[in-house]
A = this chain, B = another copy of it.
Amino acid sequence: MQLLINPADELPIYRQIMRQITEAIAGGLLRSGAKLLSHRELSEQLVIAPLTVKKAYDELEALGFIETVRGRGTFVAAKLPLPNPGADLERLRQNARRLLAQAYLAGLTFDQVVELLQETHSQLTENHESQKENV
């Protein structure tokens, strides 16, 4: 798995890292127990400050997505955090609304949005094999 960082992006770098790792977990690219690169290794690979990666890992750990074992490394959590049905659904609704608004401004129809979603779905789930990769 290869992370892509854009320093000029509005989203802070540590958030870009968090987002990509959680997306990889959601898409099945990273499974429970998979080992992540150490924050030092990852910072070298991405050519950014180690503190930045550390911050991303710290927050991911606080959220329950990853677990750190002193002396062994960092791993995808065994039990992924259960969703808070209420708040999460509301956020999902909002994001769905935004996606639709954005699509309509771009001239797409509802059916085309669903189509696009289906393509994306296929991409996210087709790489369910390559499992023991590191981040």
Contact partners of A107 in chain B: CB under 8 A: 82-83
How many chain copies?
Answer: 4
A1 proximity list for chain B (CB < 8 A): none
In the docked arrangement, what's the CA distance between A114 and B88, Å?
A: 16
Query: Separation in Å of the A10 CB from the closest CB of chain B?
Result: 8
Interface assignment of A3: CB less than 8 Å from any CB of chain B: no
Q: Which of A90-104 contact B (CB under 8 A)?
A: 91-93, 95-104
From B23, B25, B93, B103, give the contact of A98 (CB < 8 A).
Answer: B23
Query: Could you tell me the distance between the alpha carbons of A97 and B102 in the complex, rounded to whole angstroms?
Result: 14
A23 with B97: in contact, given A7-B72, A69-B8 (CB under 8 Å)? yes
Interface string of A29-60 (1 = CB under 8 A from B): 00000000000000000000000000000010
Let me know if A92 and B116 touch, CB within 8 A. yes
- In the complex, chain A residues 1-40 whose Cβ is within 8 Å of any chain B Cβ: 7-8, 12, 19, 22-23, 25-27
User: Which A residues are within 8 Å of any B CB, using their own CB?
Assistant: 7-8, 12, 19, 22-23, 25-27, 59, 62, 67-70, 72, 80, 82-83, 85, 88-89, 91-93, 95-108, 110, 113-114, 116-121, 123-124
Inter-chain pairs besides A85-B106, A104-B124, 6 sampled, C-beta below 8 Å: A83-B107, A92-B102, A96-B99, A114-B114, A114-B117, A117-B117
